[in-house]
């Protein structure tokens, strides 16, 4: 059994809650916390259809012909049974949607055996934990690997510590904390970072060097994992200032292309070498290599920035802002706040006067519009208004103070 039943139910709950809340964003104030249970309000037919489709897509239930059962038997225990039967019947692939937050998300398919191979690497290199403490959702690839597959493989409890529990959780020596930079920064802020005897995994976004150093100074073992929805895990870093080291089954495809990797494996079948045993992966980031097996990420190739572990695309957000009838032009950029990276917007109104009343009205309308179109991570938190976009003496766009 690849996934322990109680862990699989958590994955299904996380997936369906996320899909339903996305449907309700901007149109329904009800936010779902637990789904398909007697304690929660019932889903309408459209929400149930969407939830069933999301489960079928993630676990490829449709490939085993069991997808109609998801609608016929919408209860947690039944869905766990259906997905388990699907995994046993086919179970070759798992798909994850990227965390992009500006419209249609990209689906990334992975071979289940590849994900298991990554988990086996960490099983062999991490101290065996007594508990896994999860501060991330389990339906995204990072959470699925380390709060679903990993604890199922070694059969240890999983403690959900999302939200306020992130900073109030009591940690024991031997715990494995699966987290991300913003959560760790909040823990550091409140003085609740676990110390000696606790191993912390950090991914979803670059961990600022000063944050990593402060966490390691507590005595905790911090392991930074570089990866993406497209590639799964790629590299690990265990020391301050060190480059990432490639996972052992990955290698550079060639010296002329910094962003292509080969995934090499020794899986064999009755017919001989598996057709997927060697294939090319494309990194989403530009990287700088320091040798054949160590590298440093330089930034997203597609213009995305990470806000709270979510890929956000400032240019796409800007296009939404510029479509508003009261906006002449606009610019959207990331900026650093005390709580991490967020977005800011510079707006040039169509009205010639641009009075305080005008700009306040435009800002209100923009915030209302974007609250229905975008996840919170992609919404600008600060608006600046002016008669023209800020430019330098050469006419190129420049940054602005907020």
Looking at 45-49, 219-223, 270-274, which range is the least confident one?
A: 270-274
Name the residue among 189, 216, 186 with its Cα closest to residue 200: 216
Per-residue pLDDT band at 269 (split at 50, 70, 90):
very low
Mean pLDDT of 244-252: 96
Report DSSP state, residue 309. T
DSSP-derived secondary structure for 228-243:
ETTTEEEEEE-STTPP
What mean pLDDT value characterizes the chain? 87
pLDDT given at position 289: 95
Alpha-carbon distance of 81 to 73, in angstroms, equals 10
Q: Taking the C-alpha atoms of 371, 373, 377 and 382 in order, what is their torsion angle to the nearest 10 degrees?
A: -50
Residue 270 pLDDT > 60, yes or no?
no
Residue indicated by tokens 């996380």:
14
Q: Considering the entire predicted model, what is its pTM?
A: 0.79
Which tops the pLDDT comparison, 276 or 294? 294
Alpha-carbon distance of 297 to 243, in angstroms, equals 9
- Buried b / exposed e over 230-269, threshold 16 CB at 10 Å, is bbbbbbbbeeeeebbbbbeebebbeeeebeebebebeeee
Name the residue among 196, 183, 10, 2 with its Cα closest to residue 86: 2
Residue pLDDT, tens place only, 349-378: 987 656 777 889 999 999 999 998 898 889
Displacement of CA 231 from its chain's centroid (Å): 13
Displacement of CA 100 from its chain's centroid (Å): 9
CATH superfamily, domain at 313-385: ANL, C-terminal domain (3.30.300.30)
pLDDT given at position 255: 83
Mean pLDDT of 185-195: 92
Residue indicated by tokens 């008669």:
387
Residue 383 pLDDT > 90, yes or no?
yes
Residue indicated by tokens 């996320």:
18
Residue 275 pLDDT > 70, yes or no?
no
Per-residue pLDDT band at 3 (split at 50, 70, 90):
very high
Residue pLDDT, tens place only, 147-158: 999 999 999 999
Q: Are 230 and 258 in contact (CB under 8 A)?
A: no
Name the residue among 294, 319, 168 with its Cα closest to residue 243: 294
To the nearest 10 degrees (0 to 180), the angle between helices 209-217 and 181-190 is 50
Q: What are phi and psi of 74, to 5 degrees?
A: -80, 70
Per-residue pLDDT band at 175 (split at 50, 70, 90):
very high
- Give the highest mean pLDDT range of 46-50, 54-58, 396-400: 54-58
pLDDT given at position 124: 97
Residues 6+ apart with CB under 8 A from 215: 184, 188, 193, 200, 222
Residue 81 pLDDT > 50, yes or no?
yes
Which tops the pLDDT comparison, 27 or 352? 352
Mean pLDDT of 188-209: 92
Residue pLDDT, tens place only, 106-135: 899 999 999 999 999 999 999 999 999 999
Alpha-carbon distance of 48 to 205, in angstroms, equals 32
- Buried b / exposed e over 191-207, threshold 16 CB at 10 Å, is eebbeeebbbbbbbbbb
| CATH class of the 92-300 domain in this structure | alpha beta
- The first and second tokens of residue 67, run together, are 């997808």
Residue 104 pLDDT > 60, yes or no?
no
Mean pLDDT of 323-327: 92
């Amino acid at each position: 059994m690849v996934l322990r039943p109680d862990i699989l139910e958590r994955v299904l709950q996380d997936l369906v809650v996320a899909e339903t809340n996305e449907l309700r964003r901007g149109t329904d104030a009800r936010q779902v916390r637990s789904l398909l249970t007697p304690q929660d309000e019932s889903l309408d037919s459209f929400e149930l259809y969407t939830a069933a489709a999301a489960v079928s897509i993630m676990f490829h239930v449709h490939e085993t012909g069991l997808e109609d059962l998801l609608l016929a038997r919408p209860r947690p225990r039944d869905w766990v049974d259906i997905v388990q039967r699907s995994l046993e019947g086919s179970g070759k692939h798992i798909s994850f949607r990227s965390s992009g937050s500006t419209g249609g998300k990209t689906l990334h398919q992975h071979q289940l055996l590849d994900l298991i191979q990554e988990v086996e690497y960490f099983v062999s290199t991490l101290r065996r934990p007594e508990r896994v403490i999860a501060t991330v959702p389990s339906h995204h690839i990072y959470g699925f690997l380390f709060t679903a597959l990993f604890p199922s493989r070694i059969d240890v409890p999983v403690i959900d510590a999302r939200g306020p529990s992130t900073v109030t959780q009591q940690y024991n020596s031997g715990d494995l904390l699966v987290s991300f930079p913003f959560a760790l920064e909040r823990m550091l802020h409140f003085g609740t970072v676990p110390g000696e005897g606790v191993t912390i995994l950090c991914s979803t976004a670059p961990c600022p060097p000063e944050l990593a150093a402060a966490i390691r100074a507590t005595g905790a073992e911090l392991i930074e994992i570089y990866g993406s929805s497209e590639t799964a895990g790629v590299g690990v870093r265990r020391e301050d200032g060190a480059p990432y080291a490639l996972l052992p089954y990955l290698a550079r495809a060639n010296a002329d292309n910094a962003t292509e990797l080969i995934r090499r494996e020794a899986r064999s079948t009755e017919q001989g070498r598996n057709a997927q045993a060697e294939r090319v992966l494309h990194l989403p980031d530009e990287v700088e290599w320091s040798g054949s097996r160590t590298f440093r990420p330089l930034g997203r190739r597609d213009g995305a920035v990470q806000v709270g572990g979510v890929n956000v695309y400032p240019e796409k957000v800007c296009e939404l802002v510029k479509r508003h009838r009261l906006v002449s032009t606009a610019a959207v950029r990331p900026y650093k706040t005390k709580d991490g990276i967020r977005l800011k917007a510079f707006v040039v109104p169509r009205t010639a006067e641009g009075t305080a009343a005008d700009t306040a009205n435009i800002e209100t309308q923009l915030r209302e519009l974007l609250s229905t179109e975008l996840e919170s991570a992609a919404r600008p938190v600060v608006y600046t208004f002016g008669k023209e976009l800020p430019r330098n003496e050469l006419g190129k766009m420049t940054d602005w103070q907020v």
